[in-house]
Amino acid sequence: MGIYSDNIKPILKRKDILIRLIVINICVFLVLTGINVTKLFNVDITDIVINYLAIPARLDILATRFWTPLTYMFVHENFLHILFNMLMLYWFGQIFLAYFGPKNLGSLYILGGFAGAALFVLSFNTIPLFVMMNGAPMIGASASVMAIIFAVAFYRPNQEVGLFFFGRIKIIYIALIIFVLDFVGLSSTSNPGGHVAHIGGAIMGYIYAKQYLRGKDITGWLSKIIDSIANLSKPKSQKKMKVKYNRTETDYEYNQRKRNESEEIDRILDKIKASGYTSLNTEEKKRLFDASKK
């Protein structure tokens, strides 16, 4: 309890949803690793626990384990699997939070996982090749991470990231390359379920970005549900202390305004690069000065 209360609990209480998601995944992994020690005594509990957390392909089993479409996206058994997923989640989650709010990230993580689970179950019950495989239960946050990657990629396709050996590359190209690799991997026998789930998460991220550009946040309803559940754990005294603010803009309007401001600063910097600081007018100098103070 000391380790939890002194180290883990303070992190989970922080409003940084990205760190929370990573910590939850790591904690589940560590618990499963600890349970795995039972194999030393010729008792294998790990597989039993994972089977109750992983999403099954069979509909009859899924009906009795209805919680698995949620739990599977937080479960990893292999160290390299969780390492790769958490690094991708952290890198692209940081970019995501530059344009969207923390609630959007948490809700899209879950929706991406749901989409991956839905496509996984649908595929392994309708596509002849997959039905013959009788796919094993699936675990991992890959579908959720794919949703976040594709949301950023199609919301800001010109956003660049630095890659070792390749230099700076547009995020849209990274997303498309990953998608093609998953599509090609559908016919493999090693991990077809994972590839299907990745594609499901990618589709959800794409839909989210396109709808958001049209002024619609498809994660809003889930964010409200999560808020309602979170409020149940708060003391009644905290629930009653509600302060009403007169909001002048929605989350979408706020993100759109910040995006426009960023583009304006980029334009001013390009102008300085081309013609020098003296080429700026008074309004442009003021905007540059105000931006430098933020």
pLDDT value of position 119: 96
Compute CA distances 233 → 6, 17, 50, 215, 226, whole Å. 20, 17, 28, 32, 12
pLDDT value of position 205: 97
Residues of the chain with pLDDT under 50: 1, 243, 245
- DSSP E strand stretches across 112-222: 160-163, 167-170
pLDDT value of position 210: 96
Residue 134: DSSP 8-state: T
Written as six digits, the tokens of 86 are 């958490």
Residues near 89 by Cβ (< 8 Å), separated by ≥ 6? 18, 21, 22, 141, 144, 145, 148
pLDDT in tens, 214-246: 999 999 999 999 888 877 766 665 555 554 545
pLDDT value of position 237: 55
